[in-house]
Structure 1
Amino acid sequence: MPENLVRPRRVRLISLAAAAALLLSGCVNSGGDEASGTEATPGTQGAKAEPVTATSVPAEELPGAAEDYTEYYEQDLEWSSCAETMLCADVTVPMDWAEPGAQEDLEIQIISSETGGDDAEYLLTNPGGPGSSGYDAVADTLSIAFSEELAEGYNIIGFDPRGVHRSAPVTCLDDAEMDEYREQVSEEQLDSDAAYTEARESAAELTAKCESESGALLGHVDTLSAVRDMDVIRAALDQDELNYLGFSYGTKLGMTYAQHYGPRVGRFVLDGMLDVSLDAHELNKGQAVGFEEALANYAQWCVEQETCPAGDSEDEVLERVQDLFAGVAETPTQGADGRTINVSTVVSGFITPMYSRASWPLLSEALTMALVQQDFTAFQYFADLQAGRSPDGSYEWINSFAFNAVMCLDYPMPQDQEQIDAEFDEVSEEAPTFGPYLGHRAVVCGEWPAENVSEPWYPDLGEVDELLMIGTTGDPATPVEWAENMHEQVPQSSLIIREGEGHLAYRTGNSCVDEAVDGYLLDGELSEGRADC
């Protein structure tokens, strides 16, 4: 193992990898340690972060109005062909919005579907994460992620936010190091001063690696900086208002844009709402409970199939899954390619197909292989998909490090050992299947080379006329309660609730949702209040 690579020992509480949350295409990127699904950052000494009341920004004081930003706002885009039928361009933004020019500028890559034609407006979109590629979402899944009518009505723009993939990516490990990192076997949870000391030393080794590879960028990939980039994209596209379709973490980007650039908000749709008023612990707990409920729903479905590999009752299925996780935690196994399959890999591989009810049969097949044949290859395959690993061992894009970089800037995180233990125990008690493996990000963010710059907040979108929020009753990653809470806090919002399982609502087979989203984005049709689909 390289000298400067973290050795994730006793790491249930210090996970570095993104887990169980906020990723549109999956849920867990485990790094040998127990997967962590919380948003966390350094900065507080044990006190829970209380949301602040945000206030709208007058138009004349909008970020970007000052002369310091003129060159960014007046840039001309140079489009070039890409992805066979699409166009791509780089948008130049300052690394440090507080001091433009003090650091090297960043290039944010955008892609346009060009399906709407020369006279069509642009629709900016983000698939979630943080860490997911908006470029890939448009280039690879245009006909799946967006309706034909929407694609004909707009030129759809995808972008990789700062720190992501093609836009000054956060980099920590190479392919071989990432494999080794993901294969590490964790031991017991942190339960002593010595264990915490060792964990912090181990986390410091990895963060030093990140700083060596990514430098000053690590302090400038927060959500607000990405949102300021979005407004430069709007200006570069020569649009007075921004039309936007955001999913999962992309809804936080949307809410933050609406908070700071209210007069420039066009038609906004936010699907899979993230509650911006919740702190890191409440987010982690909500997602853990969400996946627990999704597992119960899967278990009920499984036993109704009469071929359920995990038992004949819901309780039996839950018990078998818990035993499966515990068994691999105690005795990791080996995949066909020789890589170690630890409990992080199995939890990651298990949660990934839970993001869509259509994938439940695949989850049953993976369970059959594991329970009957002691073959965990399918779970390893799903975990690799989530981690961005190709069969040849290369990683197209390691999004977990961008995830951590954003979260360590966006959320204060307690450094008090007693509080960390208490929060971990609470999540494990409320979500006994997944809670013990979702970890706590406090230690690693405590060692992050950049300080936390943001905190939870209550929105005040006084300059915004309207926007559309969407939640799904069985969404494990962004629980429906988050959408309901945001709708209550934003009086000018409309809310659609999809009845069903899985993450997100648009383009999941619910015509009621699809028609409402297309009707609003294309024709401005928006019903007030709440509607159920």
Structure 2
Amino acid sequence: MSSSYPPSPERPKRRGRLAVGALATALFAQLLGGTSVAAPAPEPLTWQPCESPYGVGTFECATLTVPVDRERPQGATVDLALARHRATDPEHRIGPLLVNPGGPGGSGREFAFAAPLSFSPDLLERFDIVGFDPRGIGLSDPVTCDEELIAAQESLLYPDSGSSFAALRRTNRVLGDDCRARTGSLVDHMDSTSVARDMDAIRAGLGEERISYYGVSYGTALGERYAELFPDRVRAMTLDSVIDHSLDSWTLQKTRATAMEESFGQFADWCARTASCVLHGRDVRALFDSLYRRAAAGELSWGGDVLFTDEHLQRLALNFLYGTADWFRFAEFLADLDTPDPAGARSSLRVQGAPAAYGYFPVLCQDFDLAVPSYATLAGYRRRLARVAPVTRFSTLAWTDLTGCQGWPAKVADPQHELHIDGTPPILVTNSRYDIATPHVWGAGVARQIGREAVFLTYDGAGHGDYWSSPCARDAIDTYLTTLVPPADGTHCPAVWPTGPSAPRRSQGDGPVDPLPALLGTGTRG
């Protein structure tokens, strides 16, 4: 679902966001990714013509069967669904560009189908764009769970007492057990290490010695793990809007709360200098603070009949702040929410349907050890976060990542650790300065961990997904992937701000279309 439509405050849409302590040692990380596990035997892919739902481009689809658990290669298997857009200039084809849009839970297959609309002609000419649905996602044997249990979990993600925290833990455990009963052992093997090994099986199935990779948002976590495990099989790699897999529970909360506060501040400052913003001339920070206090007191409603809680208000704000294209509508929404006359409302809310297949927490809770000992710890976090972010209070994205994993029954298979990457070509790491999902400090931290192999580029504006936010960043990514010449380390791209209420989301006429809202849904990216 597009970010033009925030979720219903009655039942906010579940994020598939990160979108995230650090307990593993470097030795443990090396044991997880060491050479003791043999590379998958090549299984040539059999491609068949298939059609894109977008009606543009010529595609082939294939299926690759891999073990659910590589320690039991003769056991259960999972069928990975792939799609490929062949290079439009075959004589100058470089090879495959594997792509992933993040989530976790996003469909790489759908990402490939969107390639003719979402990537530049340079990439389309030179690369076969190959997307795959990660195990348990999309058409790759998707995880399914009881919808009523998913709804029960959502209702408990903001515990306000020891008893509600205990209820959350019980519900998460029951939900995880239900997912396992419906899906099988796959639900316990959805960590990023398992997916990175799937990526190498895809490489082998393509008959390639090395692959190029573009991952955005949680797709960067897959790229990071692949580069750790298989550095000699990387031709080029771009990590756009970066996950830092080294951070503990509190640091994840603090850095995302800071990013939320700073991003809202950019929105407020933009409105102050933009005459066509409906809130121009008003103190936008004070308005949001007033709305928050009214919501927390049970005094804020939409149209007189939909009650807004403070968490609903914050989640809607998060959704609007994913990209600057929605800032005019965000201003209108806040103005409408503040008005006493519902007939004057300009914005609209789209009511959500039933939850989709459930792939988010089975991944996140196996990649991050987020357990906290008690409700008192959570309450302490909230008090500290309110000091970090006095206007926006905290990040609902980070918070529900934390609470959604409490009591989750699967093992943390790929816990946090500092990256240990050695022997790859240069890896291009990009991050916007004001990104609510993957804060700039995460990108800087990952570049530092990668070390001499990393080249770090900063987009000085706001948004998630630099490729579609910044023409400058897009040109740098295209140039690097096609020529292997990265920009200078520390390069900055200038901010691009919306200029009028009719400013459209990027389209074919003015650059590649941002596919992330359609692929992942607003608030489901990280």
Q: Same fold (TM over 0.5)?
A: yes
Query: Which residue in 1 is equivalent to 2:422?
Result: 462
Deviation at 1:368, TM superposition (A): 2.8
- Of 286, 301, 311, the match for 1:319: 286
Residues 356 and 502 of structure 1 are in contact (CA less than 8 Å); yes or no, is this contact kept in structure 2?
yes
SS in 2 for 1:290: helix
Query: Which residue in 2 is equivalent to 1:156?
Result: 129
- Of 96, 110, 115, the match for 1:122: 96
Residues 30 and 344 of structure 1 are in contact (CA less than 8 Å); yes or no, is this contact kept in structure 2?
no
User: Which residue identity lines up with residue 113 of structure 1 in the other structure?
Assistant: H
> What does 1:189-338 correspond to in 2, within 5 Å?
189-192=159-162, 194-306=163-275, 308-310=277-279, 312-313=281-282, 316-331=283-298
Q: Does 1:111 align with 2:68?
A: no
Cα deviation code 1:194-227 (max 9, x no counterpart) = 3433333333343343333333222111111111
Identity %: 25
SS in 2 for 1:457: coil
Deviation at 1:405, TM superposition (A): 1.2
Superposed CA RMSD: 3.6
CA distance in 1, matches of 2:13, 2:270: 28
SS in 1 for 2:466: coil
CA distance in 2, matches of 1:242, 1:26: 36
CA distance in 2, matches of 1:411, 1:420: 17
Query: Which residue in 2 is equivalent to 1:138?
Result: 112
Query: Which residue in 2 is equivalent to 1:3?
Result: none
Query: Which residue in 2 is equivalent to 1:425?
Result: 383
Deviation at 1:112, TM superposition (A): 0.9
User: How many equivalent residue pairs?
Assistant: 478
Residues 39 and 284 of structure 1 are in contact (CA less than 8 Å); yes or no, is this contact kept in structure 2?
no
Residues 153 and 171 of structure 2 are in contact (CA less than 8 Å); yes or no, is this contact kept in structure 1?
no
SS in 1 for 2:468: coil
CA distance in 1, matches of 2:33, 2:149: 47
Cα deviation code 1:227-276 (max 9, x no counterpart) = 11111111111111010011111111111100001111111111112222
Query: Which residue in 2 is equivalent to 1:406?
Result: 363
CA distance in 2, matches of 1:379, 1:289: 29
Residues 203 and 443 of structure 1 are in contact (CA less than 8 Å); yes or no, is this contact kept in structure 2?
no
Of stretches 56-65 and 291-300 in structure 1, the one that deviates more from structure 2 is 56-65
Q: Does 1:495 align with 2:495?
A: no
SS in 1 for 2:198: helix
Query: Which residue in 1 is equivalent to 2:467?
Result: 506
SS in 1 for 2:80: strand
Structure 1 portions without partners, runs of 5+: 1-22, 41-47
CA distance in 2, matches of 1:273, 1:187: 25
Q: Aligned pair in 2 of structure 1 residues 465, 164: CA closer, same or farther (>3 Å)?
A: same
Cα deviation code 1:476-509 (max 9, x no counterpart) = 2212222222222221211111121111211324
Q: Aligned pair in 2 of structure 1 residues 331, 256: CA closer, same or farther (>3 Å)?
A: same
SS in 2 for 1:506: helix
User: Which residue identity lines up with residue 80 of structure 1 in the other structure?
Assistant: P
User: Which residue identity lines up with residue 127 of structure 1 in the other structure?
Assistant: P
CA distance in 1, matches of 2:130, 2:286: 45
Residues 124 and 158 of structure 1 are in contact (CA less than 8 Å); yes or no, is this contact kept in structure 2?
yes
- Of 61, 68, 90, the match for 1:95: 68
User: Which residue identity lines up with residue 78 of structure 2 in the other structure?
Assistant: L
Residues 424 and 440 of structure 1 are in contact (CA less than 8 Å); yes or no, is this contact kept in structure 2?
no
Query: Which residue in 1 is equivalent to 2:329?
Result: 362
User: TM-score, structure 2 length as denominator?
Assistant: 0.80
Q: Does 1:371 align with 2:343?
A: no
Deviation at 1:318, TM superposition (A): 1.7
Q: Aligned pair in 2 of structure 1 residues 443, 496: CA closer, same or farther (>3 Å)?
A: closer
Cα deviation code 1:161-181 (max 9, x no counterpart) = 11212212222244x876787
CA distance in 2, matches of 1:258, 1:24: 32
SS in 1 for 2:377: helix
Q: Aligned pair in 2 of structure 1 residues 282, 449: CA closer, same or farther (>3 Å)?
A: same
User: Which residue identity lines up with residue 507 of structure 1 in the other structure?
Assistant: W
User: Which residue identity lines up with residue 394 of structure 2 in the other structure?
Assistant: G
CA distance in 2, matches of 1:264, 1:39: 26
Cα deviation code 1:459-478 (max 9, x no counterpart) = 22222132111121122221
Of stretches 242-251 and 163-172 in structure 1, the one that deviates more from structure 2 is 163-172
Deviation at 1:32, TM superposition (A): 4.9
Cα deviation code 1:388-411 (max 9, x no counterpart) = x5xxx366x45xx42211111111
CA distance in 1, matches of 2:482, 2:241: 20
Q: Does 1:52 align with 2:10?
A: no
Residues 459 and 473 of structure 2 are in contact (CA less than 8 Å); yes or no, is this contact kept in structure 1?
yes
